[in-house]
Chain A
C-alpha cells in the first residue's frame, strides 16, 4: 500500500504560499493515530481532511465471532479512558435484550465506578489539553490525582486502565466498605484540589487568549453532524443521556447538566470542569444511599438472547455511545454496531479548522477530546 497522499492533493505550481502539510499519524498533539492532510496558506488552514484507519482493530467483526461474555474485554479497549462506561453499555445492552434484572446495590456500585472513571478521563483530558497548549505543570498535577482514582479502581476491579468489571446481572463479586471509604476520602480531598486547578488555569490570561472564540460550534451544525457530549453542551444544548434515557440508577440521583452558550474552546473547558463537581455529587449520593443486598441476580451460564434487536445509549465522558445488537438466538451476536461519540465529534473538525491558524486547530482538537482507537474501532 502506498504512503503517498491521495491523488486529489497534487501540488500545482502557483504564485502564492499554498502547500500541503501532513499532520500525523505520529504527532504529539493528535491524541492517537490521526492523520490530517492540511492545505495551508502560510499559517492559515484552507482545507483539512482527516484520514482515519490507522488504529482500525476490526472490533465489529470480532464481536460477531465471540460470545457475549468474550466481547467484554474488546469493548473496553475501544475507548480505554472511559472503559467503565463502555462496559456498562455492553452489559446493559445484553441485559435489556435478555430481560435480566440488576439488584440495587450493584447499580449503585456501577454508578460510582462509572463516575470515578469519568473523573479520571476528564483529568487526563485536562492534562493533555493544556500540554497541547504548551503548559506542562497541569499535566503533572492531573496525573497525581488520576493515580489516586486508578488505585481505587484497581482495588475494586484488579486493573488500572482497561477494566472488564461488570457482568450480566450485576457485579462479579461482593464489594466491601473499604472501597466506599476510599472513594469518599478521595472525593473530599479532590473538592479542595479542584480549587487549585481553577486558580492555576481557568483565569489565566494566556489560556483565555488561546481558547476564547476559538473553534465555535454553531447550534445549526450540532444536529447536522450528530454531536453529543460536552462539546454539544458547550453550544447550549442540555442533552445528556443520563437525564434523557436514564439507565442504571441515575434517575435516583440529583445532578444538573452543565451547559454554556458560547460554543468555543473555553465553553467546552468550563463544561468539563463543572462535570467534575457533578460527578462528585453523584458519587456522594450513591455512597450515602447504597443499600445492602446481593450484587448479582441469577442469570444462565451461557447467554443466549432471544431473536431481535436492541439499542442501548450511554453517556461516556466523550458523548453518547449507542450499541446496536442484532441477535439471531445463538450465543454469538449476529451484528453489533458501536456508534461511538468521537466519530461524530471528529467529523466536525474539518469545518471548524477552516480559516484557523495551525496552532488554533490543535487547540480545537484538544478541546474536542477524542480517542482515536474509538473512532477507528
Chain B
C-alpha cells in the first residue's frame, strides 16, 4: 500500500485503494532536487533518450507542494540538511523518496574520517523508499528506480521483463 502517510486511514476501501495506487504509480511527479553530479544524470533521464515521461514521471515540479516523489540526487551537506527536511515536510502525503547516487545512500566517496560537512546518507534525515547505487548511476538505473517504486505501490511489476532474445554467436 502507499507509504508516507503520517496517520493511518480511518476507513479502508480495498478495491478503491488499489485503483488509487495504480493511478499514483502511473503519475509520480518528481521534485527538482538536483544537488550535485547526479542531477545531470537525472536531467538526462528526463531528456529525449531515456524518457521518463513515458512512465508518467516527466512532469518535474519546482515546488514540493505539488510533487509526489523527491529524488535526492547528489551530496547532502550539513548546511543543506535543514532544507532537505523542510522540503520533505512541505510535500503532501502520500510521498516517496528516491536516494540517487552513492552520496545520497551513504555519503559515497566523502565518507571519510575527517568528514566535517557531509551527511553520510540522506536516510539519516528522511525515510527513503528506493536506493539507486552508482556514482553517478546511469539514467536507466533511475528509470528502474521508478519501476521499483511503482512495484512497491502496486505490488505488481508494471512492465514485465521482455523475453530473452537468443544471441547469435
- Most chain B CB inside 10 Å of its own CB: which residue of A3, A54, A65: A54
The smallest C-beta distance from B144 to any residue of chain A, in angstroms, reads 16
Q: How many residues of A contact B (CB 8 A)?
A: 33
B86 proximity list for chain A (CB < 8 A): 3
Q: Is A256 an interface residue (CB 8 A)?
A: no
- Of the stretches A106-114, A136-144, A298-306, the one at the interface is A136-144
Q: Is A341 an interface residue (CB 8 A)?
A: no
B82 touches A77 (CB 8 A): no
Contact with A along B31-70 (1 / 0, CB 8 A): 1111111011101100111000000000010100000000
| Interface secondary structure of B, over-half rule | loop
A347 proximity list for chain B (CB < 8 A): none
Complex Cα spacing A28 to B64, Å: 12
**Beta-carbon nearest neighbor of A139 in chain B:** B47
Of the candidates B82, B117, B136, the one whose C-beta lies within 8 Å of that of A56 is B117
Complex Cα spacing A167 to B110, Å: 22
B110 touches A58 (CB 8 A): yes
Q: Is B135 an interface residue (CB 8 A)?
A: yes
A146 proximity list for chain B (CB < 8 A): 44
**Beta-carbon nearest neighbor of A58 in chain B:** B117
A54 touches B79 (CB 8 A): yes
B114 touches A61 (CB 8 A): yes
- Most chain B CB inside 10 Å of its own CB: which residue of A26, A65, A139: A26
A3 touches B82 (CB 8 A): yes
The smallest C-beta distance from B109 to any residue of chain A, in angstroms, reads 7
The smallest C-beta distance from B129 to any residue of chain A, in angstroms, reads 20
Complex Cα spacing A18 to B35, Å: 31
Complex Cα spacing A56 to B48, Å: 31
B83 touches A144 (CB 8 A): no
The smallest C-beta distance from A258 to any residue of chain B, in angstroms, reads 26
B78 proximity list for chain A (CB < 8 A): 1
The smallest C-beta distance from B142 to any residue of chain A, in angstroms, reads 13
Q: Is B24 an interface residue (CB 8 A)?
A: no
B82 touches A80 (CB 8 A): no
Of the candidates B37, B39, B83, B110, the one whose C-beta lies within 8 Å of that of A3 is B83
Q: Is A103 an interface residue (CB 8 A)?
A: no
Of the candidates B35, B44, B48, the one whose C-beta lies within 8 Å of that of A33 is B35
A189 proximity list for chain B (CB < 8 A): none
A1 proximity list for chain B (CB < 8 A): 78-79, 82
Of the candidates B40, B87, B109, the one whose C-beta lies within 8 Å of that of A80 is B40
Q: Is A338 an interface residue (CB 8 A)?
A: no
Given A73-B109, A77-B109, is A124 in contact with B116 using a C-beta cutoff of 8 Å? no
For chain A, residues 140 to 154, give those with C-beta under 8 angstroms from any C-beta of chain B. Answer: 140, 143-144, 146-147
A57 touches B118 (CB 8 A): yes
A55 touches B75 (CB 8 A): yes
A162 touches B77 (CB 8 A): no
Complex Cα spacing A19 to B80, Å: 24
Contact with A along B1-15 (1 / 0, CB 8 A): 000000000000000
- Most chain A CB inside 10 Å of its own CB: which residue of B36, B39, B41, B115: B36
A143 touches B83 (CB 8 A): no
For chain B, residues 128 to 167, give those with C-beta under 8 angstroms from any C-beta of chain A. Answer: 135-136, 138
A56 touches B36 (CB 8 A): no
A53 proximity list for chain B (CB < 8 A): 77, 79
Q: Is A62 an interface residue (CB 8 A)?
A: yes
B49 touches A54 (CB 8 A): no
B40 touches A81 (CB 8 A): yes
Given A54-B80, A62-B112, A143-B47, is A27 in contact with B62 using a C-beta cutoff of 8 Å? yes
A55 proximity list for chain B (CB < 8 A): 35-36, 74-75, 77, 80
B79 touches A124 (CB 8 A): no
B37 touches A373 (CB 8 A): yes
Given A55-B77, A58-B118, is A124 in contact with B48 using a C-beta cutoff of 8 Å? no
Chain B residues in the interface with A (C-beta under 8 A): 31-37, 39-41, 43-44, 47-49, 60, 62, 74-75, 77-80, 82-83, 86-87, 109-110, 112, 114-118, 135-136, 138
Q: Which 5 A-B pairs have the closest CB atoms?
A: A143-B47, A80-B37, A54-B80, A28-B62, A140-B48
